[in-house]
A and B are shown apart, each in its own frame.
Chain A
């Protein structure tokens, strides 16, 4: 996080014109890839992410198998052209950490015990990044898992809150993330209000944190409704379910 030299709130409004508790526009499409068992395209403002699910299928190499349950693999990857300065292709420490926390955000809802010794593979490609890519990836992955027919207790929804110019706001964009004071992504199981991912970067007062958490949870509920609507939409048309 760089020093807050840019004014992010002018005359009580965010630079984008959004309200403090307003999400960026969201677009969700289900079943966008032919080869994958399940897939989802997710746009959050300028973020564009696509998720594919393969499996459950045989786990390779075999010594990574778990005799009692499926192993969830999650690969978060950024396209080299997804950011202002070209990203070197391939995994780095950041993407490895994001892959891990994202997997753990989804693990609790998947009935992994039904598929011992297998792998459920989740691949997330970030095609364009504008802060909040991990949350976009989790939202896409959750829908793609459902689309693949994986038994799950619930969907998982994810969003970040942050602090800019002293205000706690929902869903930071890249400028707000770069020059803001804090960024806190969460993931939540909407039906049970259970948080499955929580990270924080920056500095928040306890009161701000608590308010932010509530705000983020509300954001997740809104996203959950959109995820659900996108899934229902896929089968609301005749002859589109291949």
Chain B
């Protein structure tokens, strides 16, 4: 079990190790957020709830909320909307005010990369290769603070999930998770993701999830057995 702290809790006197989720005052390190302490490297407080704040390089799942030439306005589950410039489709394309919606329409879901966040909190996006989600599969949403747990140390958790559930699973930085696969496989994959999110503050999680998935046979495996 990790140590749970609340804002203002004293954590340490080692001010030069103070990391994310902490602040330093009067030579002490205090918690800035409600969460669990991780002091394996820098002293950090990992929050267990909170909104997504975009950072350059993040890959996110967004939803087109508005078309405002020459931009698409994109909801990325952050306190701010992001924008996608029409030139993202290449200079050769003849995109004008009237046909923007033929490329991306309101409510379309996209995979995009955060290219820039300026001081006015204007956020520019770039399209990723497989950007269009076309309503295939399932989208679930968790607090972005749980994303590192769902991915796991060097991707161990997500690899376990993909293998066991035989699904395509894409975890975006903003807490939106795209799952594609057969219906029963998607059911177990979504269930497991929610379980990881709910137990993100506990230790020994990878082992427990492995156990949880141990008895599950993906539909593909079951087909094989029947053959």
**Those of A175-218 within 8 Å (CB) of chain B:** 189-191
**Those of B169-211 within 8 Å (CB) of chain A:** 194-195, 197-202
Total A-B residue contacts, Cβ distance less than 8 Å: 101
* Contact of A241 with B48 in the complex, beta carbons under 8 Å: yes
- The chain B residue with its CB closest to the CB of A67 is B120
* Contact of A235 with B121 in the complex, beta carbons under 8 Å: no
In the bound assembly, the distance between CA atoms of A42 and B99 in angstroms comes to 54
In the bound assembly, the distance between CA atoms of A149 and B46 in angstroms comes to 10
* Cβ-defined partner of B48 (8 Å) among A116, A149, A228: A149
- The chain B residue with its CB closest to the CB of A224 is B8
Q: Does A136 contact B (CB under 8 A)?
A: no
* Cβ-defined partner of A155 (8 Å) among B6, B79, B194: B6
* Contact of A147 with B34 in the complex, beta carbons under 8 Å: yes
Q: Which residues of B contact A129 (CB under 8 A)?
A: none
Q: Which residues of A contact B166 (CB under 8 A)?
A: none
* Cβ-defined partner of A152 (8 Å) among B1, B8, B143: B8
Q: Does A72 contact B (CB under 8 A)?
A: no
Q: Does A151 contact B (CB under 8 A)?
A: yes
Stretch at the interface among A2-10, A51-59, A80-88, A165-173: A51-59
| Interface SS, A side | loop
In the bound assembly, the distance between CA atoms of A115 and B2 in angstroms comes to 28
Task: Answer whether A231 and B201 are a contact pair too, CB < 8 Å, given A37-B49, A154-B7.
Answer: no
**Those of A228-242 within 8 Å (CB) of chain B:** 228, 231-232, 235-236, 238-242
- The chain A residue with its CB closest to the CB of B142 is A242
- Most chain A CB within a 10 A radius of its CB, from B35, B195, B201: B201
Contact with B along A102-115 (1 / 0, CB 8 A): 00000001010011
Q: Which residues of A contact B9 (CB under 8 A)?
A: 228
- The chain B residue with its CB closest to the CB of A120 is B79
* Contact of A118 with B36 in the complex, beta carbons under 8 Å: no
In the bound assembly, the distance between CA atoms of A58 and B80 in angstroms comes to 6
* Contact of B7 with A149 in the complex, beta carbons under 8 Å: no
* Contact of B79 with A58 in the complex, beta carbons under 8 Å: yes
Q: How large is the interface on B (under 10, 10 to 19, 20 to 34, 35 or more residues)?
A: 35 or more
Smallest beta-carbon distance A203→chain B, Å? 35
* Contact of A149 with B49 in the complex, beta carbons under 8 Å: yes
* Contact of A241 with B32 in the complex, beta carbons under 8 Å: no
- The chain A residue with its CB closest to the CB of B45 is A151
* Contact of B199 with A241 in the complex, beta carbons under 8 Å: yes
In the bound assembly, the distance between CA atoms of A58 and B121 in angstroms comes to 11
Q: Which residues of A contact B194 (CB under 8 A)?
A: 242
In the bound assembly, the distance between CA atoms of A154 and B23 in angstroms comes to 11
Smallest beta-carbon distance B158→chain A, Å? 20
In the bound assembly, the distance between CA atoms of A190 and B194 in angstroms comes to 36
Could you list 15 further interchain pairs (A-B, Cβ under 8 angstroms) beyond the known A109-B7, A152-B32, A153-B32? A37-B49, A37-B51, A55-B79, A58-B79, A67-B120, A116-B120, A117-B80, A117-B120, A148-B49, A153-B7, A153-B23, A153-B30, A238-B199, A239-B199, A241-B198
What residues of chain A have their CB less than 8 Å away from a CB belonging to chain B?
37-38, 55-58, 67, 109, 111, 114-118, 146-155, 189-191, 227-228, 231-232, 235-236, 238-242
27 residue pairs A–B, Cβ–Cβ below 8 Å = A55-B79, A56-B79, A58-B81, A67-B120, A114-B53, A117-B121, A118-B80, A146-B6, A146-B33, A149-B34, A149-B47, A149-B49, A149-B51, A149-B145, A151-B7, A153-B32, A154-B7, A155-B6, A190-B8, A232-B6, A238-B202, A239-B195, A239-B198, A241-B48, A241-B199, A241-B201, A242-B198
